[in-house]
Structure 1
């Protein structure tokens, strides 16, 4: 069971990418960056 904590500003706390809501809008994917779920362009390397 995943524990996802939502902050007052709407950001989601995470430890790993799997903690983030999974979105399927390629090339954009959810990644856990600095304990925050952020949408990133997977084509940017």
Structure 2
């Protein structure tokens, strides 16, 4: 039972929607980091 449940969870993580969401989040983090780096300190 536990093995089947783990495989089901892995299949959910492999969804293209989750991958796209992860890519969007990473892009947003990179943009925020770039803005913080380019902003003048104080």
TM-score bracket relative to the smaller structure: under 0.3
What TM-score comes out, normalization by structure 1 length? 0.18
What TM-score comes out, normalization by structure 2 length? 0.18
Q: Flag the structure with more relative contact order, 1 or 2, with Cα contacts below 8 A and sequence separation at least 6.
A: 1
Q: Which has the higher helix share?
A: 2
